[in-house]
Structure 1
Amino acid sequence: MNKPDVIVFSLPRSHESFSSTSLSLAKELSLSTRVFFINNPYTIKDLFLGRANTSIWSFLRNLVLPNRGPLTFDTDYPNLFISEAGVILPINHLSKGRLYNYFSRINNFLVNRVVRSVVNEYRLTDFLFINSFNPLFYYNSVPKGLKMSIYHCVDDITQSRYIAKHGSYLELEVLKKYDLVLTTSKKLTRYAATFSKNVKFLPNAANTDLFKRVLDNAIGTHSALDGIHGNVIGYIGNLDHRIDIDLLEFLVSGRGTDWTFLFVGPVGAEFRQSKLMKSSKVILTGPKPLNELPQYLKVMKCCIIPFLCNTLTASIYPLKLNEYLAGGKPVVSTNFSEDLVEFSEVISIASAKGEFYDMVVRELLEDGPDARQKRSIFASTNSWKSRADTFWSIIDNCHSIK
């Protein structure tokens, strides 16, 4: 049976400095059908403040010309096409009500024009439309000609710093109106099920083949890490408001005198304002391309997920967990989500600072070839290929297909 084409309208953009659930899933789906990934639009404000990777001339062109069409993402994914959604009006500062609704309709018109150009240019019919965590758009209607509308719920939107203001109530409309809702955590599944009758659990995964190369000794350590040896405690991902800064400061200050802390990813304001920035034990590399991450993981002796335990993180199924495990690395995590329970046989889960430290010590002492192999085998069941297979199974069995 031929699989339908897929349009993914995503909040995280394809060129972000971190790996996203929406793009990872889109890549895997594109191995069996055409996938059109449409980036979240920039606002005029983004444009003038230099936050957009486009120009004033691109903005002006978008006002008068139709979208020039998607571009092939890369040679590894010839069926994955990337399209920019143009530029929209900055309206997030407006209060809920008529004025916001008026300008929101304008923004939706601008975005839908891009989507329609993709549909028309590639003659899409009976396609799947996935709105990945972007309920600021397509909350009243969906593109014409589709086979199924799917909302991809990947975080607790009420805890999002930017889109919570309007997204928290618009998401409820989306949950009620879309044919299918896919969630990435158990807590999100329960939440979505109160508004939608068709909710399916599709957790995050990892490019396990890529990260398994660490265990197979198929790669070496990145040249930027030459000279770094010993007990390297590592974290890959955003150092943002999810991170327990107090825990990290506790680990860095005095304990584990021979430990080095390697952080690979974007550095947020909270981290920059902490004592960690002044520690000689801390190494910050900034964000790195996905295909280079195994070279950084290679040097890590124990990986950590030092998340705060709060409402936001309770809904998170972390991408990085399966990446760590695929590489055979020991993992110590805070007990932030019920989704960690299924990993309890292969990771250590701490409920207090002292316990976290003790678990890192234990993982360093007890790590060995058998434990590494066990972790990697466990992670192999959480590959993006496995998730794509589950996705198509859900679609095939869904009674809401039009």
Structure 2
Amino acid sequence: MQLISKPLGRYPKPTSNYLPGNLVCFSHLRWDFVFQRPQHLLTRLAKIRNVFYVEEPVISDTEIPYYAYTSRGTQLTVVTPQLPKGLSITASLKIQKRLFDEFMTGHVVNDYGFWYYTPMALEFSRGYRPEITVFDCMDELSAFKFAPESIKTLEKELLQTADVVFTGGYSLFEAKKNQHNNIHAFPSSIDKPHFLKARELKNAKANKAARLGFYGVIDERFDIELIRNIAELRPDWDIILVGPVVKIDPATLPVNKNIKYLGSRTYAKLPELIADWDIALIPFLLNESTRFISPTKTPEYLAAGLPVISTAIEDVINPYGKYGLVSIGNNAKDFLSLAEQELQRDDRKEWLQKVDFFLAHNSWDETCEGMMAVMNNMIKSTQIVYNTIAHS
């Protein structure tokens, strides 16, 4: 199969920028939790526009609810609702609505767009008329553990409201393409210069033990038994797990002398951390919560020069597995057999050239430019329609 590398050529750079001066983003992810898709895109958009990143509420000892504002750059502000304990759902939403209305009155009177990662924010942001409404659908949130029952209904409403819909992968695009007439797939990208540092930092190891690593959120999607079995079958290999443990009981995680839990690490430290790994893992379960995921770590691992072994996640198989860039395994024995092959690979230089060719046009810069082009075209076409009606 011929390897291809192509830019987002179907989204040319706009000659004019029609984006509103202020973008208000609603997210289910904390800005300082794990640096991923929202942070990559919005830090770039904040170079040309004011960005307000509205998080989900924090329940605290405060008696008076308020918005906490934290600067993350000249034009990027994280907005975190602080709510008192003991509120009912109805009371909480009422307060969030009041706080948001006060925020809009005080900060974003006009010239604004809405950017949603979570449909749940519709419950307090309805009724406004932004110049553009974007739904960047990075996951099938309704399939996640502890997802609110109302999220499916609210997503349908958001799909009817949004001017533009982006998806975080091709499988998610295929699942939703008939639900909107302006939907575009923008899969996970990479900050290549950042992860190329891992290649520069890589040193010859003093010991012979292979090091298999994973970084990311360790949650209900993580295949605990797969890791347990790999560790037991190869006790002379080290397994490094980096990231916060959420939504699952840490006591259920496998414990073995060759499994190292390092906890959370900053995005800036990742290249240095993974430079000592021999192989990177994507050990996700195959279930409803992983059916449409497009792991950002896949191209990041590859950019770092690491061989990757993954379970059969659709957006990893296509395109990475299809082009022989990532190995796909179904169980611990598969993973170990594939790892042995990678450790004995004698064509590493040619493999890296293949990886680099494939990733040549994969970058968050190009992804952000492509999204901006779609948004600009939408706003421009709407303005043309309005002007035509006004002068008819």
TM-score normalized with structure 1 length: 0.80
2:64 partner SS: helix
Q: Find out whether 1:22 has 2:7 as its counterpart.
A: no
Instruction: Show the 5 A alignment for 1:276-295.
Output: 276-277=254-255, 279-295=256-272
Q: Residue 361 of structure 1 is aligned with which of 340, 343, 358? A: 340
Decide whether aligned partners of structure 1 residues 15 and 275 sit closer, same or farther in structure 2, where only a CA change above 3 A counts. Answer: closer
Q: CA deviation at 1:42?
A: 1.6
Aligned to 2:120: 136
Amino acid in the other structure paired with 1:382: N
Aligned to 2:52: 37
Q: Which structure would you say has the larger RCO, counting Cα contacts within 8 Å and 6 or more residues apart?
A: 2
Q: CA deviation at 1:220?
A: 6.3
Q: CA deviation at 1:396?
A: 2.9
Note the residue ranges of structure 1 that are not aligned, 5 or more in a row.
49-55, 95-99
Q: Equivalents in 2 of 1:264, 1:385: separation in Å?
A: 26
Instruction: Show the 5 A alignment for 1:76-155.
Output: 78-79=74-75, 81-88=76-83, 100=90, 104-120=93-109, 124-125=110-111, 127-132=112-117, 134-138=118-122, 142=126, 144=128, 146-155=130-139
Aligned to 2:156: 172
Aligned to 2:10: none
Kindly provide the CA deviation profile for residues 367-387 of structure 1, in whole angstroms up to 9, marking residues without a partner as x: 623323432443343211121
Q: Residue 8 of structure 1 is aligned with which of 25, 28, 48? A: 25
Instruction: Show the 5 A alignment for 1:232-247.
Output: 232-247=211-226
The answer (yes or no) to whether the contact 1:204–1:319 under 8 Å persists in 2 is yes
Q: Residue 250 of structure 2 is aligned with which of 253, 266, 272? A: 272
Note the residue ranges of structure 2 that are not aligned, 5 or more in a row.
1-15, 384-392
Amino acid in the other structure paired with 1:47: S
1:266 partner SS: coil
Q: CA deviation at 1:264?
A: 1.1
Aligned to 2:13: none
Amino acid in the other structure paired with 1:316: I
Q: Equivalents in 2 of 1:207, 1:150: separation in Å?
A: 23
Query: RMSD across aligned C-alpha pairs, in angstroms?
Result: 2.8
Q: Find out whether 1:303 has 2:280 as its counterpart.
A: yes
Q: Residue 331 of structure 2 is aligned with which of 352, 357, 365? A: 352
2:157 partner SS: helix
The answer (yes or no) to whether the contact 1:139–1:173 under 8 Å persists in 2 is no
The alignment covers a number of residue pairs equal to 361
Q: Equivalents in 1 of 2:288, 2:114: separation in Å?
A: 29
Decide whether aligned partners of structure 1 residues 200 and 176 sit closer, same or farther in structure 2, where only a CA change above 3 A counts. Answer: same
Sequence identity percentage? 21
Kindly provide the CA deviation profile for residues 298-317 of structure 1, in whole angstroms up to 9, marking residues without a partner as x: 01100010000111111100
Decide whether aligned partners of structure 1 residues 128 and 269 sit closer, same or farther in structure 2, where only a CA change above 3 A counts. Answer: closer
